Amino acid sequence: MRRIFLALCALFLTVTAVGHCSAETRAIYQISTITALKEGVYDGRATFRELKEHGDLGIGTLNGLDGEMIALDGEFFQIKVDGKAYPIMDSAITPFAIVTFFRPELQLSLRNLPNFLSLQRRLDTLPQTRDNFCAIRIDGTFAYLKVRSVAGQSKPYPGLEDALKNQAVFELKGVRGTLVGFRFPLYMEGVNVPGYHFHFITEDKKQGGHLLECNLEEGQAGLAFIAALDLRLNEQDGTGGSERK
């Protein structure tokens, strides 16, 4: 696996989804793959300064798997293991991130979606979501949210499954805030998370995390359907820039 990963490292790939194609050239910009993250590649090379050149909305993590990252309106936040949101310095580095310049093509009013599954089913009713990459922003009032974050890991790094055994889970009730996320088709498994993946931040930008469960009272969703993925791997020179177990 290591060898295959390294063989890929000299490459960066542009993958184009079949289906809807916008005349505008827009892409989702992705650092590394979910498979690399699952295998414990928690140190990347891309700074947030670079990342900001490729998007103003997104999710991800920081080197060492130090918390959950959420970006909206060009502001990047780290949700640390204490569940609180901290602005990210431009010099910080990410091992895994997905960003895009968010220009929603479709707006949708949402109401009374009592759990995460019902939210996903509602978004799935849009025909455009099926075969496209979707960037999604939902501003709303939530009766309940369950979110998580994770502490920065020490070397030798455990795999993601083991690292998440020590995740911190937070329950929020009656909050306004924003979900930022993406939907990737099933065939993107390994490259990214198939289906929906959201991070949350409260309206006052003080708390948040990776979404585990939610009860949405009402909200406004904006969706962008994007057919291009600009994928950059971490170990671009093949010298092993990332540590792993």
User: Is residue 88 classed as helix, strand or coil in its secondary structure?
Assistant: coil
What is the closest distance, in whole angstroms, from the C-beta atom of residue 59 to Zn ion in the complex? Answer: 6
What is the closest distance, in whole angstroms, from the C-beta atom of residue 69 to Zn ion in the complex? Answer: 8
What is the closest distance, in whole angstroms, from the C-beta atom of residue 19 to Zn ion in the complex? Answer: 25
- DSSP assigned state of 122: H
Could you tell me if 95 and 234 are in contact, meaning their C-beta atoms sit under 8 angstroms apart? yes
Looking at the Cβ atoms of 26 and 197, the one nearer to Zn ion is 197
Cα–Cα distance measured from residue 16 to residue 91, given in angstroms and rounded to the nearest whole number: 31
What is the closest distance, in whole angstroms, from the C-beta atom of residue 44 to Zn ion in the complex? Answer: 16
Detail the DSSP E strand segments found in 17-159: 28-31, 46-47, 57-61, 68-72, 75-79, 85-87, 93-94, 97-100, 106-113, 133-149
End-to-end CA distance of the chain: 12
Looking at the Cβ atoms of 96 and 225, the one nearer to Zn ion is 96
Q: Stretches 1-9, 84-92, 130-138, 210-218: which one binds Zn ion (CB under 5 A)?
A: 210-218
From the list 76, 210, 219, 231, which residue makes contact with Zn ion (rule: CB under 5 A)?
A: 210
What is the closest distance, in whole angstroms, from the C-beta atom of residue 198 to Zn ion in the complex? Answer: 8
Which bin fits 171, alpha (ψ -120 to 50), beta or left (φ > 0)? Answer: beta
Q: Stretches 48-56, 70-78, 108-116, 209-217: which one binds Zn ion (CB under 5 A)?
A: 209-217
Q: Please state the φ and ψ torsions of residue 138, each to the nearest 5 degrees.
A: -125, 115
Looking at the Cβ atoms of 9 and 97, the one nearer to Zn ion is 97
Number of residues that bind Zn ion (CB under 5 A): 1
Looking at the Cβ atoms of 137 and 210, the one nearer to Zn ion is 210
Torsion of the alpha carbons at 121, 203, 226 and 29, rounded to the nearest 10: -130
What is the closest distance, in whole angstroms, from the C-beta atom of residue 94 to Zn ion in the complex? Answer: 13
Q: Stretches 17-25, 42-50, 202-210, 225-233: which one binds Zn ion (CB under 5 A)?
A: 202-210
What is the closest distance, in whole angstroms, from the C-beta atom of residue 167 to Zn ion in the complex? Answer: 11
**In this structure, what token pair is assigned to residue 239?**
């010298």
**In this structure, what token pair is assigned to residue 213?**
């469960």
- DSSP assigned state of 33: -
Looking at the Cβ atoms of 5 and 96, the one nearer to Zn ion is 96
- What character string, x for contact with Zn ion (CB under 5 A) and - otherwise, covers 161-200? ----------------------------------------
Chain residue whose CB lies nearest Zn ion:
210
Quick one: how far is CA 56 from the chain centroid?
A: 12
Looking at the Cβ atoms of 84 and 210, the one nearer to Zn ion is 210
List residues binding Zn ion (CB under 5 A).
210
